[in-house]
Amino acid sequence: MNPDDSSFRPTRTERDSLGEVEVPAERMWGAQTERSRQNFRIGGERMPDELIRAFAVLKRSAAEANEELGVLPPALAACIATAAQEVADGHWPEEFPLVVWQTGSGTQTNMNLNEVIARRAAALLQASAGANAGAARVHPNDHVNASQSSNDSFPTAMHIAAVQQTHGALLPALAYLQETLEDKVAAFADVVKVGRTHLQDAVPLTLGQEFSGYAAQAADARTRITAALERALAIPQGGTAVGTGLNAPAGFAAAFAAALSRHTGLTFIPAANRFALQAAHDALVDLSGALNTSASALLKIARDFMLLGSGPRAGLGELLLPANEPGSSIMPGKVNPTQAEALAMVCTRVIGNHTTITLANGLGTLDLNAYKPVIAYSLLQSIRLLGDAVHSFATHMVAGVEADRARIAELLARSLMPVTALNPHIGYDRAAEIAKLAMREGLSLRDAALASGHVTAKQFDQWVVPSDMTGDC
């Protein structure tokens, strides 16, 4: 027996343009939501909560624009706006059961919002009109969806959700990571260490300089994502079915954008060309691309932490990683770079999501991209995961990491690459001869240099000073 089958619990009859359908009696949704629920039993990935809340803000803004332009009477518009705001505030989450894998325009999720808001608005209208007013009727299409189409509303909701979540969570997380890394730049400024290129010893630098590269990458990610967000502030609402604005009153796009900006605190504007934003989602691909590049940078940082913290005795062991939890169920005392691993896994997901978003955008045909739900799902997942992982990495890894100064000094003393400082004095070939002698005979660089006869002890001590090789940046 399928517990989700409405035949095993009380139902009510709802009607849409295709006829009647039985809906669970306790639910607020209507016929179109129920048809989608029954016809698309694919996976379990529901439409993201961020998208549902953004859509609800959209419905409130549309109701207010429709009231302003005389499309809806004030009392009806007010009840729709109130009901929509309740959804935006997180009420009735169980009333939005539809999965991502549905119609590519997102029509069924749009109607899910319309039906739930209409039913709630009708109850509010009834309460405000009094017991003798008769049954209040709010129509999902004619009233809640007035002046709109799924084809302009769903992509607008995508933009709203993406911009809100990026501003609200991801950018602050990146700012926090940048600040935490900059704290370590200062703390490690005096720690001279072996540089490494090709995973081989290279000339010295400071650990602070190495961390300054990570801080700069975090700053670049913020700049990159912020720039991409600017394009996402342009929205296609007002284009209705194909971008022409059929059935929307003159001035609706501007009135809607103004209302939306009031409610979100973000400056959304009508698209210069609605046809482009309904047929394709290039701005969201740009945003995903910024996330993709940032994920690539963060993946490199995470991997470096793993490598620099490897050991602690049989690896590089230059970083002392925070011991957040036991690292093994069998090996006592083991500490693993778990935060770096989590961030790395999130980065691979974000990079994969960008491929999905890129393909889904390119698969749009003629006047409508019909792959909107998977674009929305993938993009919002990337924003959410990256924001969470970056904040966790900064809090539980970067803030607590320390330099193993003794280990760093030991490795620097054993390195042969400070021989590079001799090049200007004795030439590359003689300096290479010293390095090879040290490697072959197991000598220190200083002993090999003196044995070569090319430099004196005084010259070596004057010319080969690792701290002088790190520059002033």
Torsion of CA 210, 215, 217, 220, to 10 degrees: -150
Whether residue 212 lies in the annotated active site: no
Annotated catalytic residue, options 128, 328, 444, 467: 328
CA angle, 136 as apex, 130 and 137 as ends, to 5°? 165
Strand partners, 16: 19
Q: Which residues contact 272 (CB under 8 A, 6 or more apart)?
A: 234
Annotated catalytic residue, options 61, 91, 150, 198: 198
* Token code pair at residue 153: 């509303």
* Token code pair at residue 92: 């009735």
- Exposed/middle/buried for residue 186 (C-beta within 10 Å: 0-12, 13-18, 19+): exposed
Whether residue 288 lies in the annotated active site: no
Nearest to 97 by CA among 107, 87, 108: 108
Whole-number Å distance between alpha carbons of 318 and 390: 22
CA angle, 352 as apex, 346 and 357 as ends, to 5°? 120
Can you list the positions of beta strands (E) in 217-279?
234-235, 269-270
What's phi and psi for 251, nearest 5 deg?
Answer: 90, 0
Question: How far, in Å, are 117, 231, 255, 257, 385 from residue 262 at the CA level?
Answer: 21, 19, 11, 9, 28
DSSP string spanning 175-233?
HHHHHHHHHHHHHTTT-EEEEEETTEEEEEEEHHHHHHHHHHHHHHHHHHHHHHHHHHT
Block residue for tokens 């070569």: 452
CB 318 within 8 A of CB 310: no
Whole-number Å distance between alpha carbons of 386 and 378: 12
Residue 30 gets which letter from DSSP?
-
Whole-number Å distance between alpha carbons of 68 and 149: 19
Nearest to 177 by CA among 274, 297, 33: 297
Torsion of CA 108, 114, 120, 123, to 10 degrees: -120
Q: Which residues are designated catalytic?
A: 198, 328
